[in-house]
Structure 1
């Protein structure tokens, strides 16, 4: 979750680039850099560490130029060094990047055949080199970028600057947000409107798949297919506070759309993306290989994340797992084994019942690990090790991006445990890590189906009761979907393990009840479809969440289908969380409820 800025100015921009980066430092702080275009061509200053280090370099070696780009980095590929810091330059091209280029190795192999070689360890440099090769083959900057973008697989926010072009920036968005700012005689780019607030409040947000050619007084925007499109110019309120909805109607919608970026940012902390292995930065006070049992405790959505993790740890690490609601765990006073690990999950790190569960487990001599979004929280301070979710502030009460970040970390930990316990071979672990690396792109692809989800939600908003069904590791996602719908639309909903349908819930099914089945194709899908047909036989209205293969297997007779990208079954629960979020969100919008602040709920439950 790196920070990007760009300015096409009428006066020197270096100091203003640094000031804008200070407003984005919350997005990354491993290294920083800026590049400008001077009379001698492209020039840059970079420094590892915090932004003050870059400011010190600029004080000693100032940069001229009235056009420039800047970046504050959260390291993904390659360490936090000056050589890996952005902007990256090749030939007449400078670029800054937020996201993950999944196929950078393939790009570099192709480039090597023509004598182009990287000077850093990053995935980003492959993009700079590819655009450079296009230009050296005779393409204009615009043509070079247009030819390059379809070659990239992954997620990205990109901004390009070119030698000899002092009034041109080109930007592209695929899973990472970018905003274009309009000034009187200048133009601006930023990862969010907050970075641009000192310069302008006139903002145009790029939408998913957009790329834009920016010159003074004008921005020309193209969609994913290369068609010229219009995007609204609007007045931003970001100057008042960090929390800004951007071009979204609610914070919840904004946070749903931030997930390709926040999952990418979180995974970068737990994986070696270049080596495609798990690489935990935290020093563990325990050995996964020697643990006797894992106890997970949490509340609400975090509890459901723990339920998914139970499937992962038991299947891929053969580690016995207990999962309990924190409010029950603290009073049940369960016996805890020697050399056991208790993992508590809390977005805020202040959840009262979860904190009490932590203290009980600590008193019982357990290793304590916490998965939190607020590293200064009470739960974080009282744990032996913390696993930060790193997804930034979550404003909406209903958790979205924090949930997928939690799941991403739990998946990474399950792989680490599986390797430590000798359950996963290197090739098996590699396949699971590869599935995680592809996940931000998969989420971006899923979000393109939002229009279809919105159509289905219109009918769902008329329901009084809804059932959600899932099997195996998708069962907790059925529970999560029901919770989301209840939280923000106030429609009664229940989630069940699909195999339990005939043990009671099927009595509720009639022609007026929607039944949402979460069933991407896996080894259990045939059984889940059997339960679905039982619903259809009784007139229930089926909404099936599946992939193309599952859609074909399900056949006809289904009222509505929400199609997911095909992914490795390991990461299917993380991806499936996104359509159930969208269903709940759009249903609530049609109901006219207060989506971000639903009645009777608070973001952090700090009392019993």
Structure 2
């Protein structure tokens, strides 16, 4: 969501801060700003809209300096406008903030009673005013920040400067990510490694509750008790080249076409000729998984759909009970945890607020252990889990997730195979499933070849306002994912249903203006699905059917479109059928002229509730 960049350097930091914000644009935001210390004063520029608009205002009247903070805001408290944009200033203090302060209203009233006048609707300005009060009472910047964060309820990552202490930035985190970039004669803060990779690949990942002070010469981390603590310096594997768009029109298109490589990378050194290799989930992973008697999968959004697919796999092949829940619901109810249950958290960023909170809550509930499936090795979810499996998708810039989803499916397929093998899946069946998974990158590559046909198909959606997606079995979550992609980036209202539920309500919506998209793999449910499709045809609905090459279909019926796919087998079919649905959503959005990579109102990494 919101993005933070801060710097203490020997050079002019404003260009670095602006470049860092541009690297974070994929996260989603509605305003931007920066503040730089110069000659004992705080100079600030803010603007509603894109970073380039704020940059233009800065370039019209630049203010060079060696210490500064910058921010992209995704509105929570207060509408998107310049007054609510960060940084916020209170007296000698300027601050940027990610997260939500839950007790800000009471703190705001207390500050008003003491004479403070607010200029914004944000919770962030409350933090700035509290720190200013502490400094006015005689504390230094770091001591003031430490004193204030003890009284904050909710989630925050902050970076603060004071005109009284040039050359110094203080940061703190709880419930939202913040890291340090270590340079030579300069140090940085960022909410994401991507913001800092242009200047350094050496990072310090802050733990929950850490406070950090950076100057040109050093970065020092403190615990909430104010005592220094040691945090390791790590070299990030991220490269600046990985976030270039290259020949593609949008990042989303690039990431769709990166899926064969990303899935192959996820399977590499984990799936061998004889099956899943030992301890791919971490040291002791195989021993822990052998004790599993049930699985709870917790996730949000696209990751939740991946978990739904895994439920079908694990229950069918390993015969273990699986529950899949949305993290924001799970964490606020008392789930029953049978003995021997494994907690699985799925998150692309590893900082999704609800998923992270749910995993922390799981410690209290008596699970056998926790497993994180994630794309970011240094993230909070990964660091706090007992076991982990990295998806190796690489940076995903487009807000609408594509390669993160298919690599999560690849990782969950490995988990399903391991659990199934430990529970006596016969050799022939296990070998067949492993062979299918080995062939998944090639199957996705073949599915991508449908793009020219899908471009033509997308034209049918330009005037539409609604669409319906249908799937059966493990393809139902794929239908959910397809409908989510379409609504996210084309702004067409779309819903997904199990095809058998069509006659229980959704059929009332079907008419000649309602396209109905169905995924039709070959299998025991195909005849059932074909009956559902006839129900749509009988009511004049326009059918778009993505069918397995091996599935006997009648061909193009009146008012229908049939696209054939080599699904590669029932096990991997959900991942393969996902790809044409991604391409459909992408090309519909392009034709409708929406902002494909940064759809309105959405953010890439949801780090607040």
TM-score, structure 1 as length reference = 0.59
Answer yes or no: is the 8 Å Cα contact 2:242–2:395 preserved in 1: no
Per-residue deviation, 1:462? 1.8
Return the offset for 1:363.
1.4
**Alpha-carbon distance, 1:359 to partner:** 1.1
Q: After TM superposition, list the pairs within 5 Å mapping 1:232-381 onto structure 2.
A: 242-272=242-272, 274-281=273-280, 282-285=282-285, 287-366=288-367, 367-381=369-383
Q: Distance in 2 between matches of 1:399 and 1:529?
A: 30
SS at 1:290's partner residue?
Answer: coil
Q: 1:83 is matched with which residue?
A: none
Report the 3-state secondary structure (helix = DSSP H, G, I; strand = E; otherwise coil) of the residue aligned with 1:295.
strand
Structure 2 stretches lacking a partner, 5+ long: 1-197, 199-238
The answer to whether the Cα contact below 8 Å between 1:506 and 1:535 also exists between their aligned partners in 2 is: yes
Match of 2:423 among 409, 421, 424: 421
TM superposition shift of 1:292: 2.2
Which residue matches 2:568? Answer: 567
2:593 & 2:483 partners in 1: Cα distance?
A: 18
- Superposition map of 1:51-66 within 5 A: none
CA contact (8 A) 1:271 1:279 kept: no
Deviation of residue 547 (structure 1)? 1.9
How far apart in 1 are the matches of 2:503 and 2:245?
Answer: 44
Distance in 2 separating the partners of 1:363 and 1:264: 37
* In the alignment, structure 1 residue 386 sits paired with structure 2 residue 377: no
| Residue 405 of structure 2 is aligned to residue 403 of structure 1 | yes
Q: 2:580 and 2:350 mapped to 1: Cα distance?
A: 26
Q: How far apart in 2 are the matches of 1:348 and 1:299? A: 11
Query: Are 2:500 and 1:509 aligned?
Result: no
Q: Is the 8 A contact 1:489 1:588 kept in 2?
A: yes
1:427 Cα offset (Å): 1.7
Higher relative contact order (CA 8 A, sep 6+): 2
Q: What SS does structure 2 have at the residue aligned with 1:332?
A: coil
Match of 2:603 in 1: 602
8 Å Cα contact 2:468/2:495 also seen in 1: yes
1:347 touches 1:374 (CA, 8 Å); kept in 2? yes
- CA distance in 1: counterparts of 2:284 and 2:531, whole angstroms: 44
CA distance in 2, matches of 1:240, 1:475: 37
What is the CA distance between 1:347 and its match in structure 2?
Answer: 0.2
For residue 552 of structure 1, give the secondary structure of its aligned residue in structure 2. Answer: coil
Q: Which runs of 5+ in 1 are unaligned?
A: 1-196, 198-238
Q: Deviations over 1:302-342 (max 9, x none)?
A: 00000000000000000100000001001122121222101
Shift of 1:552: 3.3
Per-residue deviation at 1:360?
A: 1.3
CA shift in 2, pair 1:531/1:374, >3 Å: same
Find the aligned partners of 2:332 and 2:565 in 1 and give their Cα distance. Answer: 40
Matches of 1:449 and 1:457, distance apart in 2: 12
What is the SS of the residue equivalent to 2:568?
coil
Residue 480 of structure 1 corresponds to: 481
User: Structure 2 vs 1, CA of residues 380 and 523 (structure 1 numbering), >3 Å: closer, same or farther?
Assistant: same
* 1:144-163 alignment, distance < 5 Å: none
Give the 5 Å matches for 1:193-204.
Answer: none
Instruction: After the TM superposition, list the runs of 4 or more consecutive aligned residues in structure 1 that deviate by more than 6 angstroms.
Output: none
CA distance in 2, matches of 1:331, 1:508: 34
Q: Residues of 1 paired with 2:353 and 2:555: CA distance?
A: 44
Partner SS state of residue 574, structure 1:
helix
CA distance change for structure 1 residues 270 and 329 in 2, over 3 Å: closer, same or farther? Answer: same
Do structure 1's residue 470 and structure 2's residue 486 form an aligned pair?
Answer: no
Q: Secondary structure at the match of 2:316?
A: helix
Give, in angstroms, the shift of residue 566 of structure 1: 3.8
C-alpha root-mean-square deviation of aligned residues, in Å? 1.7
Q: Given that residues 469 and 496 in structure 1 are in contact (C-alpha distance below 8 angstroms), is that contact kept between their aligned partners in structure 2? A: yes
* Contact 1:271 1:280 (8 Å CA) reproduced: no
Tell me how far 1:559 sits from its aligned partner. 1.3
Q: Deviations over 1:552-600 (max 9, x none)?
A: 3566346112221141101000101101100100000001001001011
- Secondary structure of 1:573's partner? helix
Q: Is the 1:391–1:401 Cα contact (8 Å) retained in structure 2? A: yes
Measure, in 2, the Cα distance between the counterparts of 1:277 and 1:370.
18
2:557 maps to 1:556: yes
How far apart, in 2, do the equivalents of 1:572 and 1:515 lie? 20
2:289 and 2:419 in contact (8 A); partners too:
yes
Structure 1 residue 351 displacement after superposition:
0.3
Once the 2 structures are TM-superposed, how far is the Cα of residue 250 of structure 1 from its aligned partner? 0.2
Shift in alpha-carbon separation, 1:543–1:477, aligned structure 2, 3 A: same
Partner Cα separation in structure 1 for residue 451 and residue 358 of structure 2: 38
For the residues of structure 1 that align with 2:371 and 2:554, how far apart are their CA atoms?
Answer: 41
Aligned residue for 2:431, secondary structure, equals helix
Q: Aligned pairs, how many?
A: 369
Question: Matched residues in 2 for 1:276 and 1:293: separation?
Answer: 22
Name the CA distance, whole Å, in 1 between partners of 2:554 and 2:363. Answer: 49
